[in-house]
Each structure stands twice: as structure tokens, then as C-alpha cells.
Amino acid sequence: MDLSSIDPVLLIASLMVAATAVMIAAIGELIAERAGVLNLGVEGMMITGAICGFAMAVQTGSPTIGFLAAAAGGALLSLLFAFLTQVALANQVASGLALTLFGLGLSSLLGQDYQGIKPPSTPRIDIPVLTDLPAVGRIVFGHDLMVYFGLALVAATWAFLKYTRAGLVLRSVGENHDAAHALGYKVVRIRVMAIAFGGACAGLGGAYISLVRVPQWTEGMTAGIGWIALALVVFASWKPWRVLLGAYLFGGVTVLQLNLQAAGIAIPVEYLSMSPYIITIVVLVIMSADKSRAPASLGRIFHATH
């Protein structure tokens, strides 16, 4: 029963890994929501990405091709959602739920021949001197490439939304699609692209689980991480850097509770497991006093009437 067995450096290093999948998926969903689309099908797209990536990596022996295939698979599936919500003007909540159902079924059909196989391993960066630096070395330089990709994605998304014209257009579509349309922006086209981006990110997140974090294929292996990604976007109040913070916080709670258990400290696991969600609600309440609320057109259907 001593806390000394918990090594803070390793704790931070492993929460970075635990947070990566959900972070990548959440960034994708953030872009979709910033464009005014609420896609509840993240879980379905993630698991589809997980199997697409796994299968391709096994077939080709290359994790890189696996990740590309995962992004493609997730994006392809998300286009189904895009068709329903942007072309057929169906309700986004219901379409997203249906997408998850469909994705779960599709992935287990695709995955039937991939049980009990080890995928090719994704190399970890190992820079002789740097990685061996005390503390910092392991945290900053000791991960697989996808961890850095995730961080880069957060930075790129932030820069995109803040500094580029395209980012501005995307946000305006999310805030007020009628006004954006009046200004001549292609609301539907922009949203479809945002949805596809979200799908690709979800697929990558899923593949990170099946290729790096676990690595294996099991039906239903994403086990609710897609739903956590949704929570994360809200927690982050639609801001990329806060997604990073939130992902580390969520990942941190998981890793920390396991660490505390292993150190022999009796903790009520269930209550600790609910804490991220309760924190998210609290954040939502605090945020509502702030200006940073949800994109105004989130979840609303757009149809150009003229």
C-alpha cells in the first residue's frame, strides 16, 4: 500500500498512449461539429477503421498502409451518414445511431478471418541519447509515431480553425448555415467534407487501438471509446487544445485508477470511472456562462430554399 510504486514519468507516458485514440477521433468529430454536424456514429466509424486498418496491415505487412486504409474506411462509412443527413435531410441523431449499429455489424463481418492474428508491429521512435534522458526522454521521445501524429493533428486543427480562411468558412457554416449560404458558400459540400474528415479521424483512432495499443482484432473492441470521443468534444467546448487536455485528463483518470488499484489502494472503481463524465457536465455548466458555447447550427438540418 505505498504510492512510491507509482512512477509519475511512466504514468504520464502511458496516459499519452491511452489518450491518443480518443483524441484523434475527437478531433475529427470536433471538425464535423464545428461545421454544424452532430455525428453520433463515431463508435461505428472507429470500429470500422479498426478492422480496415488491421486487415490491410496484416495483408500488406505495412502498418502505414493499414492506417491509410483505416482512414479511408472510416471516411467511406461516414459518407453514408453524409448522404443521409446532407442529401436526404434525415435527422442527425437518429442517423448517427444507425451508423454505429451498421458499423458494428459491418466490422465483425469483415473481421471474421482476422481473429487471433498478430499485426505487424508499429515501430517506436528511439533516439539513442534523447530517449534515455531522465524523465523527459521517455515522455517526449519514447512513443510510436501516431502519438506525435495526434499532437500534430491537434495543432494543425487549431491553426486551421484560427488562421485559415477555410477554417473561418467552416465555422461560419456551423454557426449560421443560412447566412453562410447567402454569402455563397457551399454549405452541403463543406459539411460533407467535414463529415468525411471526421470519419477518417475516427478510422485512424480505431486503427490505433487495433494496431498499436492492443494490438489484435476482437469484435466490438473499441468498447465505447467512440462515445467518450463525443463527450470529449463537449468537454473541450469545441476547442482543439482543450481536446488534448481533456483526452489526457480522461486517459489519466483511467490509468491513475488502475495504478492506484495496483498499488493496493482501495478505491471505488465505479465512482472513479464516472468522474470524467460528471466533470464534463460541470464543465458544460461553467462554460455556459462563458461565450464558448456549441456551434449555433449544431444538429440542425440545412436545405437551400433558393
Nearer to another protein, 4 or 165 (CB): 4
Query: What does the alpha-carbon distance between residue 56 and residue 35 come to, in Å, rounded to a whole number?
Result: 31
Query: What does the alpha-carbon distance between residue 283 and residue 61 come to, in Å, rounded to a whole number?
Result: 43
Phi and psi (nearest 5°) for 144? -80, 165
Shortest separation between residue 163's beta carbon and another protein, angstroms: 27
Q: What is the DSSP letter of 182?
A: H
Nearer to another protein, 160 or 186 (CB): 186
CB-based contact 81:195 (threshold 8 Å): yes
Grid cell, residue 268, equals: 471505488
Nearer to another protein, 161 or 287 (CB): 287
Shortest separation between residue 10's beta carbon and another protein, angstroms: 4
Grid cell, residue 279, equals: 466533470
Nearer to another protein, 155 or 304 (CB): 304
Query: Any idea which residue has 495483408 for its cell?
Result: 59
Query: What does the alpha-carbon distance between residue 71 and residue 52 come to, in Å, rounded to a whole number?
Result: 9
CB-based contact 68:274 (threshold 8 Å): no
Shortest separation between residue 48's beta carbon and another protein, angstroms: 11
Shortest separation between residue 277's beta carbon and another protein, angstroms: 4
Closest CA to 227 of 72, 79, 22: 22
Shortest separation between residue 68's beta carbon and another protein, angstroms: 22
Nearer to another protein, 109 or 152 (CB): 109
Nearer to another protein, 147 or 163 (CB): 147
Grid cell, residue 161, equals: 480553425
Shortest separation between residue 85's beta carbon and another protein, angstroms: 9
Query: What does the alpha-carbon distance between residue 108 and residue 87 come to, in Å, rounded to a whole number?
Result: 28
